[in-house]
Amino acid sequence: MSKVVSNPEVLTIHWPTVIRHVRLSRGLKQASLAQDLGVTQTMVSRWEAGNARPSARIRTQIFDMIWTLTSSLARRTWMERARRNPSSVAVINSTGLVELASRGLLRSLKTVRGQIEGRNLRQAFRGDIPKLFGSLVDRGFFQGKIATVESVERVVFTDFDGHDTPFWQHSLHRPLFVANQRICWLISGASVSRPVLQDVRQRLGSAMVVRKAI
């Protein structure tokens, strides 16, 4: 059932997609982005075509640019605030390690922080969550190819004593562009009851709605 990622390519940032995505989202022509980054328009063109890889300095700048599009906080402050969030928030890295669990998530899981942060999702969860992880890897989520995914899933959490806590959750999944150019999986959601679940499923129309990076 667990998926072994044999091809490390699926976890490396796909710079052509990421650069084009942030550029188009800001409504910039290649020349304007080039100016912002202090390079030539030709360089940007080559990056987007996949003919050249941006330098470490540029890679950091792009990541910071993307970060500031969605948050005005420093990453560390954002993490601290996310932990206090009364709604369900989780941050999982590309190897499946749960890096962060919010107050709200702990409430849904009926557990404490020590039972979930630092654990691999394949040990802590059964059912839809590990499957979802595999699906995201397949779609290039950790490469930056996905803008958001919306889904409804059956979450089954297992604590260290083997006790199961099952519930349904309506979730939004997005990439978190953390430092040192890693993309993490940010899940924000809410527990839903059976009747609400059917309603959301019907509105979504399929198991998931995937919004790819243009």
Partner 1 sequence: MVNELDLTAAPSKVNWPSVIRNYRMSKRLKQAALAADLGVTQAMISRWENGESDPPERVTRRLTDMVHDAFVVAPAPTWMDLISLNPAIEFVTDSMGMIKAVSRGASDLFGMVPERLEGRPVNQLIAGDFAETLETIREKGMFQNSLVFAQSLGVIDINLASGLKSERVDFIHWPRISQARSTLCVHSGKILTDDEYTARLGERGKKLVMRRTL
Partner 2 sequence: MATKEETILHLPQTHWPSVLRHHRFTHNLKQAALAHDLGVTQAMISRWESGRATPSDAMQARLKRLFDAATIGVPMPNWREITALQPSMATIISRAGVLETVSQGVLREFRMARSHIEGHHLNEIFSGDALTLHLSLIDQGFFDGAVEMAESVDVMSLRLANGMKRDFYAHRLHWPRRDVDGEIRWASDGARLRKDEFIAMRDELGGQLDVILSL
Give contact residues for partner 1 (rule: CB under 8 A).
24-27, 148, 203-206, 209, 211, 214
| Distance separating alpha carbons of residues 140 and 24, to the nearest angstrom | 19
In contact, 69 and 22? CB cutoff 8 Å: yes
Within 8 A by CB and 6+ apart from 185, the residues are 91, 92, 93, 94, 133, 136, 141, 142, 173, 175, 176
Cβ–Cβ contacts within 10 Å for residue 201, how many? Answer: 16
Does residue 6 belong to the site contacting partner 2 (CB under 8 A)? no
- Min dist CB 110 to partner 2, Å, is 11
Does residue 79 belong to the site contacting partner 2 (CB under 8 A)? no
**Closer residue to partner 2 (CB): 39 or 187:** 187
**Closer residue to partner 1 (CB): 25 or 85:** 25
Amino acid at 6: S
Does residue 71 belong to the site contacting partner 2 (CB under 8 A)? yes
In the complex, which residues of this chain contact partner 2 (CB under 8 A)?
21-22, 24-25, 66, 69-72, 81, 84-88, 104, 107, 128, 131, 134-135, 138-139, 147-150, 154, 156, 166, 169-172, 174, 188-192, 196, 200-201, 204-214
